[in-house]
Amino acid sequence: MDFIFIEELRVQAWVGVYPREKAAPQTVELNLTFGVPDAAAEHDDLADTIDYAEVVARIRRELQERHFNLIETLGEFVVHLLFDEFGAPWVKIRIAKIGVMKDVRRVGVFIQRGRDGGKGPGAEGEPGEALPQ
């Protein structure tokens, strides 16, 4: 399986349970890796793959319009968006709120799923990558 990755995508999102988090959107950072059909490389045709520009536009649009209490729920929403709308067979996502706590750079969640509910390729992470402890 081939993969597309999108790193350090910053989006304004409505996420959180505290009053200060509900008063205004906050910056979240997304790092995505998702499987794409092998046919993309074989045919050199955008129609055979997942258009990452469309993925980014769709995520930006959805996160501007929705509110999530938990960053975990936001992450699951993006995973299912990639499965259901874009047909990705496998997704790994890391989402972090930036600067929401004093002396904490990021607070976030890591999700890795195969379409069938399993962890997908290399349950230990991508080749050469260890899962966070």
- Does the pLDDT value for residue 131 go beyond 70? no
Mean pLDDT of 70-94: 96
Among the four given CATH numbers 3.40.50.11540, 3.30.1130.10, 3.40.50.720, 3.40.109.10, the one describing domain 2-114: 3.30.1130.10
pLDDT band at 118, cuts 50/70/90? low
Catalytic residue among 22, 92, 97, 119: 97
How confident is the model over 42-67, as a mean pLDDT? 94
Grade residue 128 by pLDDT with cuts at 50, 70 and 90: very low
Least confident residue range of 41-45, 47-51, 60-64, 89-93: 41-45
What is the domain partition of the chain in residue ranges? 2-114
Give the CA angle between residues 25, 31, 35 to the nearest 5°: 130
Place of tokens 């699951």: 76
pTM of the model: 0.84
Is residue 97 annotated as part of the catalytic site, yes or no?
yes
How many Å apart are CA 110 and CA 88, to the nearest integer? 17
